[in-house]
Amino acid sequence: MGRYYLTTAIDYANGEPHAGHAFEKVGADVIARYRRALGDDVYFSIGMDEHGQGIAEEAERRDADPQGFVDELADLWAGVWARLEISNDDFIRTTEGRHRRAVEAIVSGMRASGDLYVDRYAGFYCVRCERFRKEEELVDGRCPYHPSRDITWTEEENWFFRLSRYRDPLIEHIGTHPEFIQPASRRNEILRLLEGGLEDISASRSRLPWGIPFPGTEDHTVYVWIDALTNYLSATGFPDEEYTHWWPARLHIIGKDITRFHCVIWPAMLMSAGLELPETVWAHGFVSVAGGKISKDAGSALGLDELIDRHGTDAFRYFLVREVPWDGDREFASAADLLDRFDLRYNAELANDIGNLVSRSAAMVHKYRGGEATLSGSTALDEARTSLARSYHEAMQAHLLHSGLEAVLGLVRRANAFIDEQQPWQLAKEDGSAEALDDVLGALVACLRGVAAMLGPFMPRKAEEIWCRMGGAAGLPSYSEAAVPAAPSPAAGPEARARVAVLRGPPLFPRYEPGP
């Protein structure tokens, strides 16, 4: 059993979660569940970024105390992730005492390296993304990611971090460890940025009370990004000795708009403090609607509650990962276009392909064998199951989650075609075909048991229902228990002639008929 520490970017506590946030959390949860099914000891952390000027201003706008404001939001966000079946082991908040200790420790380590000094900053600051921006980064005088908001000219005395010192060490690390930044397109972007040189950055803000006090300087707070990035350490118990049980992280999952912070500033901070770097940072793309990044402003039709209610939690999880490539972007022409694609995937793939296969298979086992199937390993479908399981594991271990689902759908479609080819209804009528019929029905049940295990990370509730209907005990199996080859091991055969009781039930995914 290997240790696998997995994180997502912590969410900025200035509003409610939307579908863009859900895309990242669901994808990370799929990876966490997949690693657990392989037998890894997984620690999965998500959380909330609760400090900074933007949050202080939003709390003031709502006539609220900042701590009370973020407490209320944290409960809201945690509730949404619970509804989406996100299986996180930790929900780190940057207002917690354990996090403050970690921030103080890493700042002290950076100071001990001689990498912190006092200077004066003058430039533009985007409050929404809590980011200093150069004039050449602006589009029509505004932040490129928040064009509807004014950007503020800021002049103040700050502590600075000697980021420029780490240009060459970062280039060397990326060259030696190409897996550090994935996918490759993001790695190339960061290398180009590094080759252009690095400037020192602010490590504190002055006269900003809502934040962690900068150690040794009463009128400064730690710059919110240095504060926020440290959450990956504070969730492990840093600076206490046991933090090394989980650190370094195996995988950070972030959006492509914050690669500079996670692939330049964060590793430079760790180098400065003498700490190990994470193994991999994966920067996913954006889901956009009508040319804009999806957000809480994209329309009420795309509210998380409305999207989940449309076809259920598992179907929404499935759609996000199936429709949006994990290594790229996905743009929808409009909110209506997104909903149409959701309905199409639901009816075509969940109701017709998967749901129909489960219903047909169970019905035939009951009609021809009284509800009991004998699992076998001698048909073309069993061979397809082994081959496509390998493709599934290759995709999942490369973090290409959409390709993993494609392999599962390929197996489901092969099974539906197998029924039409073998015509079990004809075998049931023919003398001397009893064993052939057993093999066909057994292959279908074994196939669906494998499908259930492979779908488990994506649709945990529906996958468990498939598993139980196909004779499995309560609780999703590991891949070996379901006779799904666990990469990178060679393919294992299905259970040897085991007999299982197959259950019938209502449609897994009732067909959706839109109203007038």
Q: What is the pLDDT of residues 202-231, one digit of tens each?
A: 999 887 889 999 998 878 999 999 999 999
The residue that leads in pLDDT, 75 or 478, is 75
Q: What is the mean pLDDT of residues 152-159?
A: 82
Q: What is the mean pLDDT of residues 288-317?
A: 80
Whether the predicted pLDDT of 77 surpasses 70: yes
Residue 488 binned pLDDT confidence (cut-offs 50, 70, 90): very low
- How far apart are the C-alpha atoms of 482 and 470, rounded to whole Å? 11
CATH among 3.40.50.620, 3.30.43.10, 1.10.150.80, 1.10.10.1100 for 3-284 = 3.40.50.620
The pLDDT of residue 493 is 42
| Pairing of the two strands 330-332 and 287-289 | parallel
Whether the predicted pLDDT of 297 surpasses 50: no
CATH of domain 309-501: 1.10.730.10
Q: What's the full length of the chain, in residues? A: 516
Task: Say how many C-beta atoms besides its own lie within 10 A of residue 16's C-beta.
Answer: 13
Residue 492 binned pLDDT confidence (cut-offs 50, 70, 90): very low
Which one, of 118, 124, 88, 119, lies nearest residue 11 by Cα? Answer: 88
Using the structure block, give the residue that is written with the tokens 């969940």: 350
* Phi, psi for residue 220 in degrees, rounded to 5: -120, 150
Residue 293 binned pLDDT confidence (cut-offs 50, 70, 90): low
- How far apart are the C-alpha atoms of 241 and 118, rounded to whole Å? 31
Q: Where are the domains of the chain?
A: 3-284, 309-501
Burial of 108 (0-12, 13-18, 19+ CB in 10 A): middle
Interior angle at CA 114, CA 113 and CA 120, nearest 5: 140
Q: Looking at this protein, which amino acid is placed at residue 216? A: G
Whether the predicted pLDDT of 414 surpasses 70: yes
Burial annotation 250-268 (CB, 10 A radius, 16+ → b, else e): bbbbbbbbbbebbbbbbbb
472: enclosing H helix or E strand = none
Task: Say how many C-beta atoms besides its own lie within 10 A of residue 3's C-beta.
Answer: 13
Which one, of 469, 513, 498, 464, lies nearest residue 85 by Cα? Answer: 464
Order of all β-strands in the sheet with 330-332: 292-293, 287-289, 330-332
Whether the predicted pLDDT of 311 surpasses 70: yes
Catalytic residue annotation = 18, 21, 126, 129, 143, 146, 293, 296
> What is each CA distance from 225 to 59, 144, 493, in whole angstroms?
19, 18, 50
SS3 339: helix
pTM of the predicted protein model: 0.92
Whether the predicted pLDDT of 106 surpasses 90: yes
Contact by Cβ (8 Å): 303, 281: no
pLDDT digits (tens, 9 = 90+) for 7-58: 999 999 888 888 889 999 999 999 999 999 999 999 999 999 999 888 998 8
pLDDT digits (tens, 9 = 90+) for 242-286: 999 999 999 999 999 999 999 999 999 999 999 999 999 999 999
Residue 491 binned pLDDT confidence (cut-offs 50, 70, 90): very low
Contact by Cβ (8 Å): 174, 180: yes
- How far apart are the C-alpha atoms of 2 and 408, rounded to whole Å? 25
Query: CA 233: distance to chain centroid?
Result: 19
- How far apart are the C-alpha atoms of 91 and 11, rounded to whole Å? 11
The pLDDT of residue 478 is 86
Residue 338 makes CB contacts below 8 A (sequence gap 6+) with: 289, 302, 332
The pLDDT of residue 404 is 97
